[in-house]
Chains A and B, each alone.
Chain A
Amino acid sequence: MTTTPLKFYQIGSFAVGNRLVTADERSTQSDADRTNALTSGHRACQGCGEALGARYALDTAMRAAKDQIIAVNATGCLEVFSTPYPESSWRIAWLHSLFGNAPAVASGVAAALKAKGRTDIRVVGQGGDGATVDIGFGALSGMFERNDDVLYICYDNEAYMNTGVQRSGATPPAARTATTQAVGSAPGNVFGQGKFLPRIAMAHEIPYVATASIADLRDLEAKVTKAMEYRGARYIHILVPCPLGWGSASCDTIKIARLATQSGLFPLFEAVNGEMITSTPIRKKVDVEEYLKLQGRYSHLFSPKRNDEVINHLQRMADKNIERYNLMGDM
C-alpha cells in the first residue's frame, strides 16, 4: 500500500478528511480550495462514478504538477457530458480530438511542450474503457512503447456507456450489456474473452502502472501523486461504477466499487518498470455475490433461478486475483 496509515483512531485514513488531522494529512478532496477540475453543471447521470474518478484523479494531478496540466480526452461519456457545445465543465486546460486517438494526441502535446522547453507542464491523457482498451489501444500501446511523457488514465466502467451500454473489451464475463443479452445457455458476456489492460501496460515495462478505485480515495490520490513523480509513460486504471449501465442504485456507486475490491474481483496494486511492487490488502473480505447482487447487469444470476455455476466461476476469478496479487496481505 502506498498510503501511510494515520495514527488516528476514529476513522483512520479511510474518510476523505477530518477536522482532527493536520491539513497535510488530509486528502486533496477534503480541501475546500481543491481544483474541482470537473465542476458542477456537468450532465453525467446521478451517482456517476466516472465524474467522481475524473475529479479525484485530475485534482490530485493538478496539485502534484502545481496546476500545470493539459488534459487530452478521448470521446466517451466523460467528454460528452462535460462539454456539450459551447459549455464546458473543465477548469483545466483540456483538449478533445477523436475516439481512438487520445493517446496519440497526448503524445503530440508532450512532444510539443518538450520542443518548447516547457517540461513544467505535464500531460494527462484520459478516456473510458472503450477508448482505451479497444478503439485507442494501438495509439496507447505506441505511446507506452515510445515511453512518451504522458500519464494516461483509464476510467473503466466496463462497457460503452455513452452509446447505450454495448460490450467492450473490458466488460466482465456474465455481465449483461445491450450486445450481450442475458439469454440462452450462457447469458451475458462470455467467459475467457476481453482484456485487463493494466497487465498489458506492465508488459510494456513502462515506469509506472497502477489500478485504483473511487472507493479508496487516499490510495487513488497516493497513486496519482506517485505517477506524477515519474517521467515517461505511466498508466492508471480506475474502476468507476456506472449506475445506468450496471443497473445499480445511484447511491450505491462507491459501495459497489468498494465491494469490487473487497471481493477480489478488482485488485488494487502498483507496478514499477513492469514489476508489481505493492498491492492493497482486502480489509473486509466479501463473497463476489455481495458485489453482484446489487447490479441489474447480473440479476440473471439470481432470478428467476439462481445460477450457482456462473457465480462460482466468478468467485474463482476473484480467488485467483487474491492469490495472484496477494490481496490478503500475507506475503
Chain B
Amino acid sequence: MERPFAITLGVGSSLANHTGSWRVEHPEYLHRMPPCNKACPAGENIQNWLYIAEDGSYEAAWNELIKENPFPAVMGRVCYHPCQTACNRGELDEAVGINSVERFLGDYAIEHGWEIAPPTKESGFKVLVIGAGPAGLSAAYHLRRAGHAVVIKDATHAPGGMMRYGIPKYRLPREILDAEIARIAKMGVQIQLNTRVDDVHDELEAFDAVFLAIGAQLSKRAYIPAGESARILDAISVLHDVENGTPPLLGRKVVVYGGGNTAMDVARTAKRLGAEEAIVVYRRTRDKAPANDLEVTEALEEGILIKWLSTVNHVDGGKLTVEKMQLDESGFPQPTGEFEDLEADSLILALGQEVDFSLLGNSADLDVVNGTMPVDSTMMTTHPGIFAGGDMIPAERTVTTSIGHGKKAARNIDAWLQGKSIEVNLEKTPVTINDLNTWYYTDAPHAVRERLEASRRVSDFSEVVKGLDESTALYEARRCMSCGNCFECDNCFGVCPDNAIKKLGPGLGYEIDLDYCKGCGICVSECPASAIQMFPDN
C-alpha cells in the first residue's frame, strides 16, 4: 500500500489494544441485601418496590409489594416498621418513611380498585386454613397464588382476627381491612365464618394439608385481691366487644394494668368511650415496656397517664391501691412498700395473651410446649401435613410477623404438597452506611405524616395518622438510597477512565467491557449504593 513519505504504518485505533489484560481484579454488579429487606418480618423486597414507585409506576410497585404481603394498606397503618429502624438513611438524616409509602400504595390500590389475578393453573390440591387472622389470610393468599384451592374456617363472624378484634379502628379503619380481605376472597379463597373446627384430624380427609393460625386470644390473668364490687375486665374482651358494637361500661376512671401495645390500645379506647381519665399501670420502666414507642407517644399525647414502676395491689369499690416498685440490679422490679391509692371505676388487665388450645378440640397429638405450639423450620407441627404459624407458635406477636409466618408456611406447604424442598437462602449481610458513598445523596429530611389533633382524637374513633399525598409519597420514595442495588444513576458509566462500561438503556443497567476494564475500581468507589464490587480475576 502506498504511504506518504516517512510513514511506514497505517493509522489504527487504540481499540485494538485490549487493556483488559492488565487487570488483576474486575468489577461486578451485585444485588446486595438492603437493611430494610433484612429487617422486614414479612420478607418484603422494600428497596425494589420503592425503586419502582420512584418513577410513579405505582401499580407495578404495588404488584411487587404484594408478591410478599397482601396487606399494604393495613401494614402502612399497623406495622411497627422495623425496616425504618434499620434504614441506612437514618444515619445520614432521617430514615426513609417506608411505612407511609407502603400505606400510600395500599390506599392507592384500594382507591383504584386494583385486583389480584386468580392463578392461571389449578394445582388440584386443597388446603384448609384455620383462623382468618393475618397469618391465616396471608397463608391462604400465597397458597391461592400458587394454584391451590383454599378454604379458611374461622369461629368468629368477621374475618381479620386480631387486625379486627385487637387493633382499634382509630389505628386501622375497618373499610381498609375489609377491602384488602375482600381482594383475597376474590382470588377464590373461600372464607367460612362462624365455623369452629373441633378436630383437625377429621379435616385431613377432605384436605391435603392444614395450616393452623388460631392466634392467642386468651387474656393472661394475674391474682389481684379484689373486693366484691370491683370491676375487672380483660383487654381483649373489651376490644372485642367494642368491635362488636357492644362496648362495656367502664366508668369515668379507668386503670389499665400492663405495658404492652394492647394496654396502650385499650387505654386509648377507654378514653374514646368517654372515660375522663385513663391510667396505665406498669411494673417496669418505659424502656423495658414491650409497647412500641409510637404507641406510648400517641397515648401520652392523648392524655393517657402512665405510672411506670407500679403494680396493682388491691381493688375495691371504685378504689385501687398500687405499690411503687424499683428495679434491682438484674433489672427486675422489686416492691418498695410504698403505696398509693387511685380512683378507678374499672380495672382492665392487659397482661399478655395465651393460646386457647381448646379451640382445637380433640387434636391431642399436637405438641404444646410452654403454651405455644412448636414448629420445625418448615413451619410444620409434629403431625405431618399440619402446619402452624402466627401468635400460636413461639415468636414475636405482631401482625407483620404473622403475615411473614403465613407466607413462609404457604411456601413450605406448597413444596411439601409437591414433594419438593425449598432452598433456604444463605444469610446475607446487609449493606451498612459505611458501604455507601453518601456524597452523592442530597440532604432531604423525612416527610412527616399529619396526625389528628390529640383533642379531636379522644372524642371519636377517627383514624389518628393521616396518609401522604402523592407528591409527598413520591418524595419519600425517592429518599431511598437503594442500598446494595443499582438505581441507574450513571455514575459508573461516567467515572470510568477507560470507557469500559456500557450503558444498556432504561431498566437494563450496565455491563462491564472486560476487553478494556483495567480494574482500577473507581466505579466501585463512586457507586453511591454499593452495588458494585471487585472480584479477583482468575
Contact = CB atoms under 8 A, between A and B. Distances in A.
Given A11-B442, A14-B439, A254 B526 contact: yes
A82 to B, nearest CB: 7
B275 interface: no
A75 to B, nearest CB: 18
A10 B478 contact: yes
Contact of A87 (B17, B488, B490, B505): B17
A18 B14 contact: no
Provide the main secondary structure of the chain B interface.
loop
A56 B495 CA distance: 9
B14 A30 contact: no
Given A29-B494, A46-B520, A19 B525 contact: no
Interface string A41-56: 1111111110110010
Given A47-B522, A254-B526, A42 B498 contact: yes
Contacts of B440: 11-12, 14-15
Given A11-B528, A19-B488, A40 B500 contact: yes
A293 interface: no
Interface in A1-48: 8-12, 14-20, 26-27, 29-30, 32, 36, 38-48
A51 B520 contact: no
Interface in B502-538: 503, 505-507, 513, 515-516, 518-522, 524-526, 528
Given A29-B493, A39-B499, A48-B497, A82 B487 contact: no
B79 to A, nearest CB: 24
A42 B16 CA distance: 10
B499 A55 contact: yes
Interface string B63-84: 0000000000000000000000
A41 B20 CA distance: 9
Nearest to B498: A40
Interface stretch (A161-169, A245-253, A296-304, A307-315): A245-253
Interface string A92-135: 00000000000000000000000000000000000000000000
Contacts of A237: none
A258 interface: yes
Nearest to A258: B439
Interface residues of A, number: 50
Contacts of B479: 9-10
Interface stretch (B4-12, B118-126, B177-185): B4-12
A30 B442 contact: no
Contacts of A36: 499
Contact of B13 (A9, A15, A87, A251): A87
Contacts of B522: 47, 250-251, 253-254
Given A41-B19, A41-B516, A85-B9, A17 B524 contact: no
A101 to B, nearest CB: 21
A153 interface: no
A249 B507 CA distance: 32
B229 interface: no
Contacts of B22: 46
Nearest to A36: B499
Interface of B: 9-19, 22, 54-55, 439-442, 444, 475, 478-481, 487-491, 493-495, 497-500, 503, 505-507, 513, 515-516, 518-522, 524-526, 528
Report, nearest first, the 6 A-B pairs whose CB atoms are least far apart: A16-B494, A251-B521, A17-B490, A12-B442, A41-B14, A47-B520
Given A19-B487, A87-B16, 9 more contacts: A8-B442, A11-B528, A12-B441, A15-B440, A27-B490, A39-B13, A40-B516, A49-B497, A85-B9
9 contacts: A11-B442, A32-B493, A40-B500, A40-B513, A43-B14, A44-B498, A88-B12, A252-B525, A284-B439
